Amino acid sequence: MSEGRITHWVGGKPWSGTAERRGDVYDPATGQVSAQVDFATADDVSSAVATAREAFPAWRDTSLSKRSGILFAFRELVREHRDELAALISAEHGKVRSDAAGEVARGLEVVEFACGIPHLLKGGFSENVSTRVDSYSIRQPLGVVAGITPFNFPAMVPMWMFPVAIATGNTFVLKPSEKDPSASVRLAELWREAGLPDGVFNVVHGDKVAVDSLLAHPDVRAVSFVGSTPIARYVYETATSHGKRVQALGGAKNHMLVLPDADLDLAADAAVSAGFGSAGERCMAISVVVAVEPVGDELVAKIKERVARLRVGPGTSPESEMGPLVTRQHRDKVASYLDGGVAEGATLAVDGRSHPLPEGDGFWLGPTVLDQVTPEMTCYRDEIFGPVLSVVRVPSYDAAMEVIADNPYGNGTAIFTNDGGAARRFQNEVEVGMIGVNVPIPVPMAYYSFGGWKASLFGDTHVHGTEGVHFYTRGKVVTARWLEPEHGGVNLGFPTNG
């Protein structure tokens, strides 16, 4: 990475490629361009894939203990450099440092999970399935696999993918978001320091051109994607039509259901933390509070009190609780939902435009609460992906469940209640992939798998955990007979046990 210019990482070193096009990277807190990132052409992507393909046979045959040794070393290096990684994330994404450090920590969990790869890849063995015949299963890597990731978690989301893909013996090409590309390059440097052979982990930067090249490339065996729903659907349809295995995680509209018996202080704390953390730019952010009456007025009052105290400022300041949005264009789009919501009949309970905000050209918008929102409104239907919390008021648990069921997304949801029976019924009935019970952001630990339902995921497997191991491997079953001297005889019958 040279000053002000961010290049690809291929074959264990920075690589400029053809560098025909570049994109601006901003510091969202100042609104200034901080660097330029190279955009890969189709030929650049082909070179990266060829490098990964060349590295595959040796990496696939590297022993499990050597592979896990490299993962342990990588884990130590990421831990050692977590503050530096957090600073890089904060500088390009805008999120506050503690939040950026949190994403590095959650990414590290997946590395730690992948350190146990010898155990995770163990197959089954059955002795004497037929006389003197044994049978066993093995799982093998796919080859070159690609990851395409969004701006909102520039370290954690790639780390949902590549530790597991690499541990299972694949080689990897990452196409990170062009909005905050530096963390992925720093992670590549740490892989090299950890002893990962050149070409096993590669990074190509860019936009649709790079993505499309990966989706169609005959040597890319599988694609993991995380981003918005329209692009997730496109990636799924395009890459599967080219014969690839695909997991494509999309957008979200996460509902937090508050029942009348809930602890409303706890619920208000949770709604504000999960609604405005990372300026609402989280796929697991709570964007809709569904208040079962009569709690609406009291809950909104408690949320308002807390929102008024939030400190919005640059991610570099330890005082800041919420940073800017990622780009000016995104800030303007998010802000358009404020007047738009009011025009459709919502009430602006808190107007983020009048919140105390830093001076200057940063991409600022304060926390906003839209009350009396209904499911027909655009501000309810769209994934706003910013610091705008909507409140939908309903008369009953059943009415709340209808709202959630009718929503096209199914990433995360939470229920706040002191009634164990209601919580149990909720987790049984709701059509959503990740459920919180009095926990607003129920992101699964690395040894479980992360993924939503409905328009929040295209494909069959969620990421990391055992589903991640399965996604990046193919199964084989071997049936073996070691012959004894008295064997023999032709038999045209179908093999049966005997």
Q: Which of 186, 176, 205 is nearest to 16 (CA)?
A: 205
Q: ∠ CA 231-226-198 to the nearest 5 degrees?
A: 115
Whether the bond between 294 and the residue before it is cis, its omega within 30 degrees of 0, is yes
Give the pair of three-digit tokens for residue 304.
């308002």
Query: Which one from 283, 286, 291, 394 is the annotated catalytic residue?
Result: 283
Which residue's entry shows tokens 């990962």? 196
Q: Which stretch binds ligand NAD (CB under 6 A): 52-60, 143-151, 166-174, 479-487?
A: 143-151
Sole window of 108-116, 129-137, 174-182, 256-264 interacting with ligand NAD (rule: CB under 6 A): 174-182
Helices (H), 135-228: 156-167, 182-194, 208-216
Among 56, 201, 385, 426, the residue binding ligand NAD under the rule CB under 6 A is: 385
154 to 173, contacts with ligand NAD by CB under 6 A?
A: 157
> Residue 468 carries which side chain, given as an amino acid letter?
G
Smallest gap, in angstroms, from Cβ of residue 193 to ligand NAD?
25
Binding window for ligand NAD (CB under 6 A); candidates: 5-13, 220-228, 343-351, 482-490: 220-228
* Least Cβ distance, residue 287 to ligand NAD (angstroms): 10
Question: Which of 11, 143, 169, 251 touches ligand NAD (CB under 6 A)?
Answer: 251
Residue selected from 52, 173, 226, 377 as contacting ligand NAD according to rule CB under 6 A: 226
Supply φ then ψ for residue 45, to 5 degrees: -60, -40
| CB 263, min distance to ligand NAD, A | 29
Angle of helix 64-80 versus helix 82-93 axis, rounded to 10: 70
Residues 446-475 that bind ligand NAD (CB under 6 A): 452, 456
Of 79 and 208, nearer to ligand NAD (C-beta) is 208
Binding span for ligand NAD by CB under 6 A among 28-36, 44-52, 88-96, 225-233 = 225-233
Verify binding: residue 227, ligand NAD, rule CB under 6 A: yes
Is 283 among the catalytic positions? yes
Nearest-approach distance from CB 227 to ligand NAD, in angstroms: 3
Residue (39 or 397) nearer to ligand NAD, CB: 39
DSSP conformation class of 150: -
Determine the residue with CB nearest ligand NAD.
Answer: 227
Residue type, 23: G
Q: What are phi and psi of 164, to 5 degrees?
A: -75, -45
Summarize the chain as % helix, strand, coil (round to 5).
Answer: 40, 25, 35
In the numeric block, which tokens belong to residue 473? Answer: 């491997």
Longest dimension (CA), the chain: 90
Asked if 180 is part of the footprint of ligand NAD (rule: CB under 6 A), the reply reads: no
Residues 462 and 291: their CA atoms lie apart, in Å, by 30
Site string for ligand NAD, 262-301 (x = CB under 6 A): ---------------------x------------------
Q: Does 26 bind ligand NAD (CB under 6 A)?
A: no
Give the separation between CA 341 and CA 422, rounded to whole angstroms.
Answer: 31
Applying CB under 6 A, the span of 62-70, 93-101, 149-157, 333-341 interacting with ligand NAD comes to 149-157
Q: Cα–chain-centroid distance for residue 297? A: 34
Q: What is the DSSP letter of 95?
A: -
Size of the site for ligand NAD (CB under 6 A): 27
Task: Report, in Å, the least distance between residue 323 CB and ligand NAD.
Answer: 16
Q: Read off the DSSP letter of residue 261.
A: T
What single-letter amino acid sits at 20?
Answer: E
Q: Is the dihedral of CA 299, 303, 306, 309 positive or negative?
A: negative
Of 450 and 472, which has the nearer Cβ to ligand NAD?
450
Q: What is residue 6's DSSP assignment?
A: E
**Of residues 166, 383, 392, 471, which one binds ligand NAD by CB under 6 A?**
383
Q: How far apart are CA 79 and CA 47, in angstroms?
A: 31
Q: How far is the CB of 284 from ligand NAD (least distance, A)?
A: 7
Binding span for ligand NAD by CB under 6 A among 35-43, 64-72, 130-138, 221-229 = 221-229
Chain positions 197 to 216 lying near ligand NAD, rule: CB under 6 A, are: 207-208, 211
β-strand partners of 457? 249
What crossing angle do the helices spanning 182-194 and 156-167 adopt, rounded to 10°?
30
Degrees to nearest 5, angle at CA 157 with 100 and 470: 145
Of 48 and 194, which has the nearer Cβ to ligand NAD? 48
Tell me which of 7, 177, 320, 368 binds ligand NAD, using CB under 6 A: 177
Helix (H) or strand (E) holding 121: none
Site for ligand NAD in 296-335 (CB under 6 A): none
At its nearest, how many Å lie between ligand NAD and the CB of residue 65? 32
When asked if residue 100 is in the footprint of ligand NAD (CB under 6 A), the reply is no
User: What tokens does 335 get?
Assistant: 């802000």
Q: Are strands 412-416 and 254-258 parallel, antiparallel or unpaired?
A: parallel
Q: Which residues are catalytic?
A: 283
Which residues of the shown chain bind ligand NAD in the complex (CB under 6 A)? 148-153, 157, 175, 177-178, 207-208, 211, 226-228, 231, 249-252, 283, 383, 385, 411, 452, 456
